[in-house]
Amino acid sequence: MPYQQKLVTVAGYTVLLLTAAIFLFVAAQAWPFFREQVDLSFFTGDRWLPVSSPPTFQIKGFLVSSFMITTMAVVLGCPIGILSAVSLAELLPRHVSVLLRSVFEMTAGIPSVVWGFLGLTVIAPFVARVFNLNTGLTGFSAGLVLSVMVLPTLVSLADEALRAVPREYAEASYALGTTRWQTIWRVIVPAARGGLVAAVLLAMGRAIGETMTVLMVAGGRLTTPGSIFEPMRPITALIAAEVTNAARHSEQYHALFAAGLVLFTITLAVNAIAAAVIGGKKEAG
């Protein structure tokens, strides 16, 4: 085997090694915290008090915030995203679809800090006025911005799933005298169901992991929010806001890594479910 081939093999193994290393390293930094933690109050408690003595670290409020904002982004984004993908894959002439796919790809590149800035200056004041709130920096505003941000992921994956349906299915359907509308909803969309579910899950994974937008727009209150119209802080924003201020190996440092490990585990689970949905469909088909 020439040495160049050995080098690319090493590069390939690096990917696997790196993924394992990141998970293990974050887990190792979180371990001192979980070792001291005898009950589940880390997940069920509402108090995050890093500087009081003794300090308390409980993340229910951040988990609930992440859940609320993600749910809102996905619920708002999904119908629009999937209908857009159907338009791209089935309705528009090919050259128009090609162009619009590039436009979607471009919008995926708008940095999240730019979205956060727009949320802060445009969306939050608007939300405050419409809903008559003291501050527009709420989970609602963050969810609204995130629903736009997940669209490119959602549309491109859903579009891909729809286009992967063999052309013969549609042709067989048309041969039976159906309209385009019937063919889309009775044949193509059901055939692409697995891929569409995976697209929604992966968009959800993106929304959970999104950091800058929620840090800037969601408001930053540390306790469990009672409704989406309150200021809140998702788990990603907690980590970004506090980690550089925590002294190394302090309790807060380890607690933040514990929060990071929880976030990591959630996104891995969402990805694994999406992969299983796609994989399961392949075996069935």
103 interacts with another protein by CB under 8 A: yes
**Which residues, 178 to 207, sit near another protein by CB under 8 A?**
179-181, 202, 205
Please state, in angstroms and rounded to a whole number, the distance separating the CA atoms of residues 159 and 102: 13
The residue among 68 and 82 lying less far from another protein, judged by its C-beta, is 82
- C-alpha 261, offset from chain centre: 16
Least distance from C-beta 202 to another protein, angstroms? 7
Nearest to 211 by CA among 106, 69, 18: 69
Least distance from C-beta 255 to another protein, angstroms? 12
75 interacts with another protein by CB under 8 A: no
Please state, in angstroms and rounded to a whole number, the distance separating the CA atoms of residues 23 and 19: 6
State the distance between the two ends of the chain, measured CA to CA, in whole angstroms.
Answer: 38
Which residue stretch of 40-48, 57-65, 77-85, 187-195 sits at the interface with another protein (rule: CB under 8 A)?
77-85
Least distance from C-beta 89 to another protein, angstroms? 11
Least distance from C-beta 243 to another protein, angstroms? 6
Please state, in angstroms and rounded to a whole number, the distance separating the CA atoms of residues 263 and 271: 12
Q: Site for another protein (CB under 8 A): how many residues?
A: 84
Please state, in angstroms and rounded to a whole number, the distance separating the CA atoms of residues 87 and 97: 9
245 interacts with another protein by CB under 8 A: no
- At CA 185, angle to CA 179 and CA 188, rounded to 5? 95
**Which of 35, 167, 248, 282 is the binder for another protein (CB under 8 A)?**
248
The residue among 1 and 38 lying less far from another protein, judged by its C-beta, is 1
12 interacts with another protein by CB under 8 A: yes
Which residue stretch of 11-19, 54-62, 167-175, 192-200 sits at the interface with another protein (rule: CB under 8 A)?
11-19
The residue among 68 and 266 lying less far from another protein, judged by its C-beta, is 266
- CA distances 77 to 147, 149, 155, Å, are 5, 9, 10
The residue among 39 and 283 lying less far from another protein, judged by its C-beta, is 283
- CA distances 196 to 42, 137, 269, Å, are 35, 32, 18
